[in-house]
């Protein structure tokens, strides 16, 4: 949610931003917000005038009764009753319009950074940089599900019976490798100075609407029946929600957290052959990083955060690249975002394994998260980034460490977490 002052004073900037995101249907929202804001301020002015009159009349009543002018005092009391009735009507109208205003403002996309390329969808995202040499071995790399099944490490058939499509059992050394990667990600981020956290895995609707757009919420979130609770799609939601309604002392900034959680997503749609694998599933696990900082520090943190993900995957012997998300591919709350993509030697192309975003103060405005500085309170900037999400990260690691004999080389950084095991061999 952007600052109402910007909409009020520079609506052309807001409209141009909407056009850059190819959301022309939302242009009318700007004029509607301006009109609602005008009417709300009129009601607010009326309310202030009525309260001022009520205070003045109340003072007069006190003087009249002290002077034993009872009839005049009682007449003035009637005026107070009339003012209260008028005030009740004015406040009701103001509150109803304020709710309409908030609803419409939450549909207007955040102002994107000037550096974001303009494009309609993800097909127009731009490669920034490659890290590591993408290798195609001189032997065939099987489909990741086949590799895992050959190692007795994956059972989707049983998961289909217990839970349906989009779920899976990881077993044996493959499950251990999955856990090792997440444990290493935790320690990797702690070594970067981030505070480790395990958050609630369910959150209330007012937190959900504070951290994401309505469209994302509908497409992603599972709601708990008869409860005001949703299963989280990423721990970022809980982590930002932790500071809802808080005023944070400036000396405590920046707040840098790394969080573990399972994640739950609807992930509707058909994806062909990959349906039997682990690319797109309803449940996965994730190590996330979240930062709350001063607005002027947000871009420095953005660049540090995505670089940590690159460093993490390179330590697993996985070549990666970064991809700048274009304007049409940005979610409405995002100011700037890039994807980290891992090399797939089987497909001989890159696929997404993480995403880094800065959201400006949009989430902070929705949730009322502020800092207390020397010159008063201000809204914080929030950022989030994937360290690793598994099983996608697991797929990248397995494919890039797959050996011709069907075994998987365990990256050196994971061997401690695997009890010293250097290779997962065929049974």
Quickly tell me which residue has 């970022």 as its tokens. Answer: 236
Asked if the peptide bond before residue 254 counts as cis, ω within 30 degrees of 0, the response is yes
Report the pLDDT value the prediction gives residue 288, as an integer from 0 to 100.
Answer: 97
Whole-number percent of the chain with pLDDT over 90: 85
Asked whether residue 110 is domain-assigned, the answer is no
Tokens representing residue 355 in the block? 């995403």
Q: Return the CATH number at 215.
A: 3.30.930.10
Tokens representing residue 188 in the block? 């990797």
Instruction: Give the CA distances from residue 233 to residues 44, 187, 265, 285, in Å, rounded to whole numbers and listed in that order.
Output: 39, 23, 6, 10
Report which of 9, 254, 209, 22 is spatially closest to residue 116, judged by C-alpha positions. Answer: 22
Cβ partners under 8 Å of residue 159, min gap 6: 167, 168, 169
Distance, in Å, from the CA atom of 61 to the CA atom of 259, rounded to the nearest integer, reads 61
Indicate the pLDDT class of residue 427, thresholds 50, 70 and 90: confident
18 and 70 in a single domain? The answer is yes
Average pLDDT over residues 318-339: 96
95 and 126 in a single domain? The answer is no
Report the pLDDT value the prediction gives residue 217, as an integer from 0 to 100.
Answer: 76
Report which of 232, 229, 234 is spatially closest to residue 205, judged by C-alpha positions. Answer: 229
Helices marked H in 274-358 — which ranges?
Answer: 298-314
> Is the per-residue pLDDT at 270 higher than 50?
no
Average pLDDT over residues 204-217: 85
DSSP-derived secondary structure for 138-176? SS----HHHHHHHTT-EEHHHHHHHT-TT--EE-HHHHH
β-strands 154-155, 169-170 pairing: antiparallel
Lowest mean pLDDT among 17-31, 276-290, 292-306: 276-290
229 and 337 in a single domain? The answer is yes
pTM of the model: 0.89
19 and 96 in a single domain? The answer is yes
Report which of 248, 254, 255, 256 is spatially closest to residue 377, judged by C-alpha positions. Answer: 248
Average pLDDT over residues 337-344: 97
Q: Which among 70, 105, 140 is the end of a domain?
A: 105
Whole-number percent of the chain with pLDDT over 70: 98
Residue range of the domain that includes 390: 122-424
Asked whether residue 96 is domain-assigned, the answer is yes
200 and 59 in a single domain? The answer is no
Lowest mean pLDDT among 9-18, 135-144, 185-194, 275-284: 275-284
Buried b (16+ CB within 10 A) or exposed e, 197-230: bebbebbeeebbbbbbbeeebeebbbeeeeeebb
163 and 293 in a single domain? The answer is yes
Instruction: Give the CA distances from residue 380 to residues 113, 139, 197, 363, in Å, rounded to whole numbers and listed in that order.
Output: 17, 51, 20, 9
Residue range 275-293, pLDDT digits in tens: 678 988 999 999 999 999 9
> Is the per-residue pLDDT at 297 higher than 90?
yes
Report the pLDDT value the prediction gives residue 67, as an integer from 0 to 100.
Answer: 84
> Is the per-residue pLDDT at 271 higher than 50?
no
Average pLDDT over residues 178-183: 97
Cβ partners under 8 Å of residue 244, min gap 6: 206, 207, 210, 367, 368, 369
Half-sphere exposure of 269 (CA within 13 A, CB side): 8
Q: Is 296 exposed, middle or buried (0-12, 13-18, 19+ CB in 10 A)?
A: exposed
Report the pLDDT value the prediction gives residue 277, as an integer from 0 to 100.
Answer: 86
Report the pLDDT value the prediction gives residue 275, as an integer from 0 to 100.
Answer: 61
Q: Which among 71, 105, 139 is the end of a domain?
A: 105
Distance, in Å, from the CA atom of 30 to the CA atom of 10, rounded to the nearest integer, reads 10
212 and 301 in a single domain? The answer is yes
142 and 84 in a single domain? The answer is no
Average pLDDT over residues 11-17: 97
Task: Indicate the number of domains in the chain.
Answer: 2
> Is the per-residue pLDDT at 166 higher than 60?
yes
255 and 280 in a single domain? The answer is yes
Long-range contacts of 344-347 (CB under 8 A, 24+ apart): 344/395, 344/396, 344/399, 345/134, 345/135, 345/136, 345/137, 345/141, 345/399, 345/400, 345/402, 346/141, 346/142, 346/143, 346/144, 346/399
349 and 216 in a single domain? The answer is yes
Instruction: Give the CA distances from residue 92 to residues 43, 77, 96, 101, 184, in Å, rounded to whole numbers and listed in that order.
Output: 10, 23, 6, 14, 55
Asked whether residue 383 is domain-assigned, the answer is yes
Residue range 32-61, pLDDT digits in tens: 999 999 999 999 999 999 999 999 988 888
Asked whether residue 197 is domain-assigned, the answer is yes
Collapsing DSSP to helix, strand or coil, 261 comes out as strand
Q: Return the CATH number at 99.
A: 1.10.287.40
* Cβ atoms 302, 356 nearer than 8 A: yes
Question: Among the ranges 153-157, 274-278, 302-306, 389-393, which has the highest mean pLDDT value?
Answer: 302-306
Asked whether residue 117 is domain-assigned, the answer is no
- Name the DSSP class of 383: E
Distance, in Å, from the CA atom of 71 to the CA atom of 64, rounded to the nearest integer, reads 9
Q: Other CB atoms closer than 10 Å to residue 140's CB: what's the count?
A: 9
Instruction: Give the CA distances from residue 134 to residues 139, 146, 366, in Å, rounded to whole numbers and listed in that order.
Output: 15, 22, 42
Indicate the pLDDT class of residue 71, thresholds 50, 70 and 90: confident
* Cβ atoms 262, 385 nearer than 8 A: no
Report which of 407, 411, 360 is spatially closest to residue 381, judged by C-alpha positions. Answer: 360
Report the pLDDT value the prediction gives residue 268, as an integer from 0 to 100.
Answer: 61
Asked whether residue 113 is domain-assigned, the answer is no
* Cβ atoms 328, 421 nearer than 8 A: no
* Per-chain mean pLDDT for the chain: 93
Tokens representing residue 265 in the block? 């997503």
Indicate the pLDDT class of residue 212, thresholds 50, 70 and 90: confident
128 and 17 in a single domain? The answer is no
Asked whether residue 112 is domain-assigned, the answer is no
Asked whether residue 30 is domain-assigned, the answer is yes
238 and 197 in a single domain? The answer is yes
DSSP-derived secondary structure for 87-99? HHHHHHHHHHHHH
Average pLDDT over residues 73-90: 90
């Amino acid at each position: 949610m952007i600052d109402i002052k910007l909409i009020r004073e520079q609506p052309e900037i807001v409209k141009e931003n909407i056009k850059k995101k190819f959301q022309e249907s939302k242009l009318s929202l700007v004029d509607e917000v301006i009109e609602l804001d005008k009417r709300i301020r009129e009601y607010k002015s009326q309310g202030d005038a009525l309260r001022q009159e009520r205070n003045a009349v109340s003072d007069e009543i006190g003087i009249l009764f002290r002077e034993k002018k009872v009839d005049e005092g009682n007449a003035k009391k009637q005026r107070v009753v009339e003012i209260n009735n008028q005030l009740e009507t004015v406040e009701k109208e103001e509150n109803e319009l304020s709710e309409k205003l908030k609803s419409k403002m939450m549909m207007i996309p955040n102002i994107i950074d000037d550096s974001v390329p303009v494009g309609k969808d993800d097909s127009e995202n731009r490669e920034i940089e490659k890290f590591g040499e993408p290798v195609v071995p001189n032997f065939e790399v099987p489909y990741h599900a086949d590799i895992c099944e050959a190692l007795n490490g994956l059972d989707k058939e049983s998961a289909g019976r217990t839970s349906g499509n989009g779920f899976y059992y990881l077993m044996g050394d493959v499950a251990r490798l999955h856990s090792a990667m997440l444990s290493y990600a935790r320690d990797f981020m702690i070594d970067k100075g981030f505070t480790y956290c395990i958050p609630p895995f369910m959150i209330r609707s007012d937190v959900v609407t504070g951290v994401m757009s309505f469209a994302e919420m509908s497409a992603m979130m599972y709601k708990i029946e008869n409860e005001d609770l949703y299963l989280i799609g990423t721990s970022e939601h809980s982590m930002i929600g932790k500071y809802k309604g808080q005023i944070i002392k400036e000396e405590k900034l920046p707040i840098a957290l790394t969080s573990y959680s399972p994640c739950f997503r609807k992930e509707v749609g058909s994806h062909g052959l990959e349906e039997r694998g682990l690319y797109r599933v309803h449940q996965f696990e994730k190590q996330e990083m979240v930062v709350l900082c001063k607005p002027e520090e947000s871009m420095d943190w953005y660049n540090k955060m995505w670089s940590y993900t690159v460093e993490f995957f390179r330590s697993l012997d996985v070549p990666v690249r970064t991809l700048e998300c274009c304007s049409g591919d940005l979610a409405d709350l995002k100011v700037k975002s890039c994807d980290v993509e891992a090399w797939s030697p089987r497909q001989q192309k890159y696929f997404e394994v993480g995403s880094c975003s800065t959201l400006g103060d949009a989430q902070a405005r929705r949730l009322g998260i502020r800092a207390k500085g020397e010159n008063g309170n201000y809204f914080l900037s929030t950022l989030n980034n994937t360290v690793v999400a598994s099983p996608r990260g697991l797929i990248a690691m397995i494919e890039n460490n797959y050996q011709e004999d069907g075994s998987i080389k365990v990256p050196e950084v994971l061997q401690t977490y695997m009890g010293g095991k250097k290779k997962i061999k065929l049974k």
